Amino acid sequence: MEDNNKNTSPLSDRKIFSRFFLFWLGLGWMAFFLALFGFFYEYFFEAYLIFGISFLLRLLLKKRFRLSREMIAIIAISLLASMLFTVPSVPTIFSGRDQGSISEAAIRLAQNHQLEFSTPASQEFFKIYGQGKALNFPGFYYTDSGNLITQFPLAYISWLAVFFSLFGLAGLTIANALLFILFLTSFYLLWRIFVPRRCAAIGTLLLLTSFSFSWIAKFTLTENMALALLWFSILSLISFLQKNEKLAYWSFFLSSALLIFVRIEGIIFFAFSFLAILLSLPTREYLKKNIFKLFILPVFFLFIIFVINFGISLGFYKEIGKALFNSAGNGIIDINTSVSTWEKYIYPALYILKIYLLYGLLGFFTAGIAGIIYFIKQKKYSILIPLLVVFPSFIYLIDSNISADHPWMLRRFVFSILPTFIFYTVIFLGQLRANSKKGIRSLALIIAFVLLCGNIPAFALHLDFSENKNLLGETETISQNFSSNDLILVDRLASGDGWAMLSGPMNFISGKNSVYFFNPQDFDKLNLEKFDRIYLIVPEKSIDFWKQSVLYPRMHFWKNYSLQTQRLENNEDAKNLELKFASKKYKTVSGAIFEIEK
């Protein structure tokens, strides 16, 4: 395996960075365990951070380690980039889509010190619907005892909850920013194993200007943690294959094991990583000699943790099961046999190619595939280890199993597929630059420039845009109209966006008994004695629906409300092949608040 690290000490840098990453990885594992066992208290994390920072300062004072200038530079760039991407954003805490439900689960965990919780409103709706998916509380399931529990993976939720418990809402942004720093530094060090510093620097520029990374960092989505864990585990895996050291092995094992509880793909990545180990004779022999300590015992403990997690996260695995069985129906491609071949295959394929081109992915996919083919032909198998690990996720290129609206659908590619192609693109360009022919060397620079130009439109257009800016303040203003003993029923479109509902933050931030309400027939099934007054928040576009409902005779106008929103809207369908980004919309949403007779 070639190593082009000249003028620096990258192996030393890697060891220092591994220890730094392991410190945060330890925090992640601690938070996950405390969440599993319902003992989630912030003083554990305060003590952990105080101890860690004190230990770091002690090492610095004794000068036991020293980073290279190159390493200091990439950490500084990672820090600045993470601030640029995350600081202008607002916490994604509104109900209706994954990021809002994940944020709510994290905040509830920090507030209640355990995963399960209930509210006066949730208790009443449980009497109607019973155990199972909590339709009035998106992203949650009812347990058999009537409590709510998240349907999303616990490791990322517990990670967010740590930072919320320490820093409030700003902690959600800090948590994502730290993960991006860890990812970008890991990725750079991985490049440096195979290419010179200049190529890695160009690669970093291409990665940082790719819209997908700057966009995903603004949202509380599991892809953020998956990025850091996956690419650090690959970096550690390759380091372990290079030199059988325990630090590299445990860095690999602990990061890839935690990834299992962040994304369902983590299970397959974990298995394929060990396949890479088995394909290396020296590493296989080393593992065989230490099989009990390095494999059997840790995998046994990992299995026990998985079983415990499975019982607690049953809702998550149910959702995954539904997705697997209905993947064809939920993906880009329509399997409806009544439509023509053109509508069934051609339009969806052209639509996805349009998105790849629009957001700068197509160039990396093309150059990355060329690089992969080249390295296979050259039998440079060590370079292909990252491809082996993430290869199962390439199924998303065929069926992404996600709604086709963009940029939302890009999350399917952002944590494994797109980084892989960028990784191989840069290494391939490095090979071209090393060619003795001037024309080929120039071609590499031209390709890099074209890729950069492909990134800029989407990146520049959306860099400073934050969805739902000021909406939390508007929600808190509306919440001040109600007491903590009132029941507030909230129409799905009260904010003007069904993916950013007011009911969640009105409850877990403002402390009101708010609930997403969609079925008027449920009203008479509720026991309303525990509530002083009942209110219904309805936007103008939904008033006609409620006027035709059984509730209308009991609805009495109380007051009007209005709020300002800004968001991305994409109203096109898969047959629209025009190259057009989702539109930035700035709207004033008006509606009415009704008081309902008991």
Encoded tokens for 171: 């902690």
CA–CA distances in Å: residue 392 to residues 145, 221, 369, 417, 524:
38, 21, 16, 10, 50
Give the three-state DSSP class for 327.
helix
What's the rounded Cα separation, in Å, for the pair 384 and 367? 15
Three-state DSSP class for residue 567: strand
573: tokens are 């369908």
d(CA 362, CA 18) in angstroms, rounded, equals: 33
User: 148 in helix, strand or coil?
Assistant: strand
21 close to 255: Cβ distance less than 8 angstroms: yes
Q: Residue 56 CA to chain centroid, in angstroms?
A: 29
- Judged on CB neighbours under 10 Å (0-12, 13-18, 19+), 519 is exposed
- Measured distance CA(504)–CA(517) in Å, rounded: 12
Which residue stretches of 398-542 are H helix? Answer: 411-414, 417-433, 438-462, 471-479, 503-508
Token pair for 588 = 């004033």
The Cα 48–Cα 32 span in angstroms is: 14
**Residue 259 tokens, joined:** 């990834």
List the chain pLDDT tens, one digit each, 598 residues: 444 444 444 457 888 899 999 999 999 999 999 999 999 999 999 999 999 888 878 877 776 677 889 999 999 999 999 999 988 888 899 998 999 999 999 999 999 999 999 999 999 999 999 999 999 999 999 999 999 999 999 999 999 999 999 999 999 999 999 999 999 999 999 999 999 999 999 999 999 999 999 999 999 999 999 999 999 999 999 999 999 999 999 999 999 999 999 999 999 999 999 999 999 999 999 999 999 999 999 999 999 999 999 999 988 888 888 777 765 444 444 444 455 666 666 777 788 888 899 999 999 999 999 999 999 999 999 999 999 999 999 999 888 777 777 888 899 999 999 999 999 999 999 999 887 688 788 899 999 999 999 999 999 988 888 889 889 999 999 999 999 999 999 999 999 999 999 999 999 999 999 999 999 999 999 999 999 999 999 999 999 999 999 999 999 999 999 998 888 887 665 456 677 888 888 889 999 999 999 8
Q: Where are the domains of the chain?
A: 10-91+159-462, 471-596
**Full-model pTM:** 0.93
Closest CA to 386 of 239, 185, 196, 284: 239
Residue 98, Cβ neighbours under 10 Å: how many? 20
d(CA 275, CA 23) in angstroms, rounded, equals: 27
How many Cα atoms occupy the beta-carbon half-sphere of 161 within 13 Å? Answer: 36
